[in-house]
Structure 1
């Protein structure tokens, strides 16, 4: 009779850094920190550290870049008005 051995892997947990990166990117003036933390967290998750939350880290990166584009376009529009 063959014995059944169940291999239990450690349950994955949600990365708190991914959530913090998402929240920092969502707040307008803190987006550089969210952008940096999003890239850092996504790289750490991709290495396979047993966490999930890559979607939150990617969303933080996208939102951070959108804030940067918004800031640059707003600055260009402001300078265009001054000229």
Structure 2
């Protein structure tokens, strides 16, 4: 009888948006889209819509911020060389 109640629970599915956000953040020039989609997807997963993949969305956010830091520091170094 206990197995019948366990099998009636809806199965969670992996969030496709979390994977897409992760891939977009990993691709250097598309990181702003991955960063935005990562925040959006993580908020939707936190609401409890029956999906999992919060780790992918969080990784997309972290990678996106790392790319942003890399580009800002690169721009500052480039401008420092020009001055």
| TM-score (norm: length of structure 1) | 0.93
Structure 1: gaps spanning 5 or more residues = none
Number of residues of Structure 1 aligned to a counterpart in Structure 2: 80
Cα distance, 1:19 vs structure 2: 0.1
Shift of 1:11: 0.4
What SS class does the counterpart of residue 62 from structure 1 fall into? helix
In structure 2, runs of 5+ residues without a counterpart are: none
Higher helix proportion (structure 1 or 2): 2
Q: TM-score, normalised by structure 2?
A: 0.93
What does residue 16 of structure 1 align with?
A: 16
**Matched residue SS, 1:9:** coil
Q: Name the counterpart of 1:68.
A: 68
